[in-house]
Amino acid sequence: MYYIKTGREYIRRDHTGKYVKTRNILLADKYDNEWLAKRVAENCLPAADRKHSRVVYEADTKTKMKTVEEVVGKAAQDENATEDIQKMKDYILGLDGKCNELKLELSELDQAIEDIKHYIEFYDLDADRCFYIVNNLLKPVLVKRRKVKNDLEVIRQIGELQINENLIYPILQIYHQIENKVYVPRKYPELFEEEKNVKEG
């Protein structure tokens, strides 16, 4: 598959039809032939991106996913397979063919979040309404979005793996990394400290 890149970022077309940058190859637009990708790069990108754009060929992640599924499935059948490998097998096989579906779901979840944010911005809300909006609307969307982003990240990292006989070990590493991922607060660490103290207290 062919992709358009500017620097280290890929180009994708968003839901408004604009060509924008993304670091995630799974969100990037892909082209079956180089000519079409070059045509888009030369004629459709914003001027600033057009000047630095280039067309690159990268192996199809879907093909690698198939190989990974075979490796994981074989490892899970081994009589010495750990519980981790069994769990990982179920997770990896559950991602089969879901890349485009996940990308669409992520876009829809982002739009839902924008709706909720603008509703909060435009209207004066009492305490009960705020609780309902955050707990019943915003939180479920955010939780679902995190799961979708994690799934896409696993597929992305698998797409970057070198296919060899030791493939099972880097796959396990990717799986554990996602399973044990911890959010590091950027602006309000005290909020998380308060919750931690309440749980420990």
Q: How far apart are CA 14 and CA 160, in angstroms?
A: 24
pLDDT, average across residues 159-173:
71
Render pLDDT for 61-110 as a digit per residue (tens, 0 to 9): 666 667 777 777 777 777 666 677 777 777 777 776 677 788 889 999 99
For the chain, give the percent of residues with pLDDT over 70. Answer: 86
pLDDT, position 63: 65
pLDDT, position 97: 66
Of 184, 106, 186, nearest in space to 149 by CA: 106
pLDDT, position 80: 67
Pair 25, 42: CB distance under 8 Å: no
Angle at 18 between CA 55 and CA 186, to 5 degrees: 90
Render pLDDT for 128-144 as a digit per residue (tens, 0 to 9): 999 999 999 999 999 99
What residue segments make up the domains of the chain, in order of their start? 2-57, 61-200
pLDDT, position 191: 82
Q: How far apart are CA 40 and CA 44, in angstroms?
A: 5
Q: How far apart are CA 172 and CA 158, in angstroms?
A: 11
Global confidence as pTM: 0.62
- Tokens representing 109 are 């979840």
- Sole residue written with tokens 């019943």: 136
Most confident of 52-56, 62-66, 131-135, 170-174: 131-135
